[in-house]
């Protein structure tokens, strides 16, 4: 009998736990440790953020699902890993601080044979003074944040209905943010809602981003064929901004947010301020506050975690210039080299480097989108880790592990540009691979046959279908495992 | 210095026909099927490209 502990109940962790339970014997134990009581389909938070969905349409309670599936569930925050055990534990274990109301603050320990770290990000609002719901801007990173953003947006729309002009700023709250696609979606959904409310002429909508140019999306932009020509996501995205009348400020690092004003620096070193009535600015991510200790209690966190707090896995982390980056630098099994019974998947693993070319302002400020690794890649990594753990439990040292590098993995993304069964629209995109491979695909780094983009109502329908499909899957309804990641 | 708004102003503007096509239910139903096919192709590639390695 083996015990697998999954830290995190988001897309990667929840996917891993469900597949593990399906793949392992009943005598094996699967335990999820997460401080959250709810699962959240984060891609639909943008619709909560504009009042098109309620929070309970994008979340559900994890406890009943785990009880039905036979998965152990500790509503707790993992605070430390002891991969070698210690004097009183023969097996490795994790330290926990319980967060369910009945045991809040209680400390605990949980031994494991295999550990999957899918802790996701720490929303690092503190990196930018004044950023976030506790400061002076909104967020859509959680369903709760999105509800607050919706209320603030509605207040602005009400003011416009009374004839008051409003400046609505949407974008990234720091130079090293990721998830530009989510901010892009929210900007266009805000524009759509303002237009639907009949007050578009009173709204100045500004997209403020750390991307070097529009259409970068943290993946260095895309090139695809359209009507017999190669075109770029830059031109395609700029066209959408022109059509919808949204201004954009690129290459920006937000240095601070005060009541009604955001301060930012751009790549040319210029410092500017932008006054706003409503702002939704995403925070940068870092790894959660997790420590690691060896058998004698020495802190080995620096060995297991990158300075960003994300866990180091089977990637090439040696520092090298952008020109020397290779697809092979990216991890393929997501195993921790010194501890092959530990995996880190989804946002929790440390990328070897950015995908977009990193840049510095003339003042030396790093303005570089971090690599996105949410959604489809997160689910694929979660299933991969589950499959490999199951193989290792069944076959021991003779097990063959599967590999799935982001340099050999595609992604399908649907970025909403407004909701409504007849009036909605979305930008549908596929890319293959996520991390460009200039050796395999000289020129653009990606397959032109499998990288494409299209805007239209069909995209909205697809995003809506995916919403219901993935919530069905996450609830482990009949046939859930047949739905691909 | 930020040329982004200049670039946006020079970007191709969709014609009225293109905008209508993006909302046309019949055309979009066809696109729905076509885009899903492209996405399933990416998912299919995933399975073909997943490799194996000894521990």
| B16 has a chain A CB within 8 A of its CB | no
Distance from CA of A74 to the nearest CA of B (A): 30
Ramachandran category for residue A97: left, alpha or beta (phi over 0 → left; psi -120 to 50 → alpha) = beta
| B50 has a chain A CB within 8 A of its CB | yes
pLDDT beneath 70: ranges in chain A: none
pLDDT of residue A398: 81
Question: Which chain B residues are closer than 8 Å to A462 by Cβ?
Answer: 32, 35-36, 39
| B13 has a chain A CB within 8 A of its CB | yes
Q: Which of A242, A274, A392, A409 to mutate to test the interface with B (most CBs of B within 10 A)?
A: A242
Question: Which chain B residues are closer than 8 Å to A454 by Cβ?
Answer: 31, 35
The pLDDT tens digits of the residues spanning A216-266 come to 999 999 999 888 899 999 999 999 999 999 999 999 999 999 999 999 999
Distance from CA of A191 to the nearest CA of B (A): 16
Specify the DSSP element, H or E, that contains B23: helix B16-23
HEC per residue, A266-325:
ECCCCEEEEECCEEEEECCEEECCCEEECCCCCECHHHHECCCCCECCCCCCCCCCHHHC
| B31 has a chain A CB within 8 A of its CB | yes
Query: If contacts are CB pairs under 8 Å, which of residues 401-430 in chain A contact chain B?
Result: 401-404, 408-412, 422-423, 425, 428, 430
> What architecture is the A3-123+286-406 domain classified under in CATH?
3-Layer(bba) Sandwich (3.50)
Q: Which of A231, A410, A413, A435 to mutate to test the interface with B (most CBs of B within 10 A)?
A: A410
pLDDT of residue A392: 95
**ipTM of the complex, rounded to two decimals:** 0.90
pLDDT of residue A374: 80
Residue of chain B whose alpha carbon sits nearest to that of A424? B23
pLDDT of residue A157: 98
| B41 has a chain A CB within 8 A of its CB | yes
CB-based contact B32 A333, cutoff 8 Å: no
Q: Which of A238, A342, A452 to mutate to test the interface with B (most CBs of B within 10 A)?
A: A238
pLDDT of residue A485: 87
| A292 has a chain B CB within 8 A of its CB | no
CB-based contact A461 B28, cutoff 8 Å: yes
Statement: residue B49 has pLDDT above 80: no
Of A250, A452, A457, the CB nearest to B4: A250
| B48 has a chain A CB within 8 A of its CB | no
C-alpha span between A312 and A361 (Å, rounded):
28
- Assigned token pair, A31: 């335990």
What are the DSSP calls for A120-161, one per residue?
A: -EEE-GGGSTT-STTTTSB--SSHHHHHHHHHHHHHHHHHHH
* Pairing assessment for the beta strands A29-34 and A38-40 based on DSSP bridges: unpaired
Which residues, in sequence order, are bridge partners of residue A208? A171, A249
| Residue-range domain boundaries for chain A | 3-123+286-406
Statement: residue B47 has pLDDT above 80: no
pLDDT of residue A145: 98
């Amino acid at each position: 009998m083996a015990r697998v502990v999954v830290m995190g109940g988001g897309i990667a962790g929840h996917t891993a736990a469900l597949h593990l339970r399906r793949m392992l014997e009943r005598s094996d134990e699967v335990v999820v440790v997460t401080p959250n009581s709810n699962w959240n389909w984060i891609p639909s938070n943008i619709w909560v953020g504009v009042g098109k969905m309620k929070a309970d349409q994008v979340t559900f309670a994890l406890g009943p699902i785990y009880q039905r599936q036979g998965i152990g569930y500790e509503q707790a925050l993992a605070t430390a890993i002891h991969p070698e055990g210690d004097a009183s534990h023969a097996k490795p274990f994790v330290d926990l601080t319980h967060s369910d109301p009945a045991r809040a603050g209680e400390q605990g320990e949980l031994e494991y044979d295999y550990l999957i770290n899918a802790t996701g990000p720490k929303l690092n609002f503190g990196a930018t003074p004044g950023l976030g719901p506790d400061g002076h801007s909104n967020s859509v990173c959680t369903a709760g944040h999105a509800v607050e953003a919706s209320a603030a947006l509605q207040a602005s729309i009400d003011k416009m209905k009374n004839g008051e002009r409003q400046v609505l700023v949407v974008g990234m709250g720091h130079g090293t943010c990721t998830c530009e696609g989510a901010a892009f979606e929210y900007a266009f959904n805000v524009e759509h809602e303002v237009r639907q409310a009949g007050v578009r002429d009173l709204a100045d909508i500004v997209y403020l981003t750390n991307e070097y140019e529009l259409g970068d999306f943290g993946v260095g932009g895309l090139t695809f064929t359209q009507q017999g020509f190669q075109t770029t996501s830059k031109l395609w995205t700029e066209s959408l901004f022109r059509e919808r009348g949204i201004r954009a400020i690129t290459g920006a690092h937000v240095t601070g947010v005060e009541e009604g004003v955001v301060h930012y620096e751009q790549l040319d070193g210029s410092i500017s301020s932008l006054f706003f009535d409503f702002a939704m600015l995403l925070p940068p991510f870092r790894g959660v506050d997790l420590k690691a200790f060896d058998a004698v209690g020495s802190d080995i966190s620096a060995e297991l975690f990158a300075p960003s707090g994300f866990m180091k896995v089977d990637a090439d982390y040696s520092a090298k210039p952008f020109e020397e980056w290779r697809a092979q630098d990216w991890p393929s099994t997501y195993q921790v080299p010194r501890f092959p019974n530990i995996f880190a998947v989804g946002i929790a693993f440390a990328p070897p480097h950015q995908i977009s070319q990193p840049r510095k302002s003339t003042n030396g400020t790093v303005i570089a989108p971090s690599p996105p690794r949410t959604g489809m890649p997160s689910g694929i990594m979660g299933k991969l880790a589950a499959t490999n753990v199951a193989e290792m439990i069944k076959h021991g040292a003779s097990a063959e592990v599967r590999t799935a590098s982001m340099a050999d993995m595609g992604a399908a993304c649907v970025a909403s540009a407004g909701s409504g069964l007849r009036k909605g629209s979305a930008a549908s995109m596929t890319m293959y691979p996520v991390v460009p491979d200039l050796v395999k695909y000289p020129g653009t780094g990606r397959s032109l046959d499998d990288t494409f983009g299209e805007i239209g109502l069909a995209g909205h329908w697809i995003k809506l279908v995916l919403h219901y499909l993935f919530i069905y899957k996450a609830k482990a309804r009949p046939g859930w495992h047949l739905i691909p990641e | 210095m930020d040329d982004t708004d200049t670039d946006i102003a020079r970007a191709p503007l969709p014609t009225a026909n293109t905008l209508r096509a993006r909302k046309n239910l019949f055309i979009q139903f066809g696109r729905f099927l076509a885009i899903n096919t492209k996405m399933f192709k990416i998912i299919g590639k995933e399975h073909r490209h997943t490799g194996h390695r000894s521990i």
